[in-house]
Amino acid sequence: MVRWNAAVVLLATTGGLALAQTQTARFSHSGKLVDASDGHAIVGGQAKAWRAQNPNASGPCPAHTDLLSDTQTGKVGQFEFQISSTQPTYFAQYCANGYATKHEPGNDNNSSGPVNPDPVLLINPNTASVDDMYQAVDGVLGQAGSDLRQLARKDPNGFSTAQESLPGEDRNAVMELAGRRPSGAPRGSVPQDPRAGINWILNDAASNLTYFSGAVQVRGGFNPTLQRFSDSERVAIAWLLKRPRLVAR
């Protein structure tokens, strides 16, 4: 009887531990915080994940609804969210002293993986010039082009099929971006499935461009920057600025 009771206790204890582990399972999402003007890492910035956005929040780095993960960037700008697996999505917030705060809604938490966009680009509206803004936008477009060409090289047929299935505006944007001069090496964080990868790249570019366009304090604003791009590039940028964010599963 003593042995049986011990076994019951052991099973109950083991079952309780397994249940606790299941309940506390977390997914991780890593990234880097980078200055959009010069590409340097932003050290000591804040990266926060919230359950939801508070539309009434105000201030340079305001609190939102239910903090899920709070981290500070390291010496190369790196950070990592740890979020309970019970939370399917999260609202990301990125802040650093002197920089315009960046908000990123609708992030997927169904598995571990890098944040999107990657890296997270911030701009300092007090020091950035129109030239800085141009370099930042040009870099985003060029990086998207590098990533798209890499996807096409790895799986030409899959990429072509995925591209043809896109809505017209997305398809035109992909053609424009893939035809640009490359800027930067293709990123390893891009999903290798062509359809998911294209969506990830467009989300990344749209997020950064939308953030830049909102940094209205930058001397000269965003519109003068756009005048330096070709007509077809401006059409692609205009679409990405209003493109709905799609969460890739």
118 and 146 co-located in one domain: no
- Residue 237: helix, strand or coil by DSSP? helix
235 and 134 co-located in one domain: yes
Main-chain phi, psi angles of 97, to 5 degrees: -55, 120
Residue of higher predicted confidence among 21 and 125: 125
| pLDDT tens by residue, 81-129 | 999 999 999 999 999 999 999 999 999 999 999 999 999 999 998 888 8
Q: Which two tokens stand for residue 118?
A: 């990657």
Residue 226 has pLDDT above 80, yes or no: yes
Q: How confident is the model at residue 230 (pLDDT cuts 50, 70, 90)?
A: very high
User: What is the rounded distance in angstroms from the CA atom of residue 96 to the CA atom of residue 46?
Assistant: 6
Q: Which two tokens stand for residue 59?
A: 């201030």
10-19, 147-156, 211-220 — which one is most confidently predicted on average? 147-156
Q: Is residue 221 part of a domain?
A: yes
Q: Is residue 7 part of a domain?
A: no
User: Average pLDDT, stretch 176-201?
Assistant: 91
Report the number of distinct structural domains present in the chain: 2
Report yes or no: 107 and 90 within 8 Å, Cβ to Cβ: yes
79 and 115 co-located in one domain: yes
96 and 159 co-located in one domain: no
97 and 172 co-located in one domain: no
Is the preceding omega at residue 117 within 30 degrees of 0, hence cis?
A: yes
H or E segment to which residue 27 belongs: strand 26-35
Q: Is residue 8 part of a domain?
A: no
Q: Is residue 147 part of a domain?
A: yes
The rounded mean pLDDT for the chain is: 88
- Residue 53: helix, strand or coil by DSSP? coil
Q: What residues contact 15, with CB distance under 8 A and at least 6 apart?
A: none
Which residue among 103, 122, 141 closes a domain?
A: 122
Residue 8 has pLDDT above 50, yes or no: no
Sequence-ordered strand ranges (E) for 36-187? 46-52, 65-72, 78-84, 89-95, 102-108, 120-122
- Residue 151: helix, strand or coil by DSSP? helix
Nearest to 45 by CA among 72, 13, 14: 72
Please report the pLDDT score of residue 219 as a whole number: 57
Report yes or no: 214 and 100 within 8 Å, Cβ to Cβ: yes
Q: Is residue 216 part of a domain?
A: yes
Q: Is residue 136 part of a domain?
A: yes
User: What is the rounded distance in angstroms from the CA atom of residue 236 to the CA atom of residue 238?
Assistant: 5
Please report the pLDDT score of residue 244 as a whole number: 85
Task: Give the predicted TM-score (pTM) of the model.
Answer: 0.84
Q: What is the DSSP letter of 78?
A: E
Asked whether the CA dihedral 195, 198, 203, 206 is positive or negative, the reply is: negative
| pLDDT tens by residue, 130-187 | 888 899 999 999 999 999 999 999 999 999 999 999 999 999 999 999 998 877 889 9
Question: What's the CATH code of the domain at 64?
Answer: 2.60.40.2190
Q: Is residue 6 part of a domain?
A: no
Domain of residue 158 covers: 130-242
Main-chain phi, psi angles of 133, to 5 degrees: -65, -40
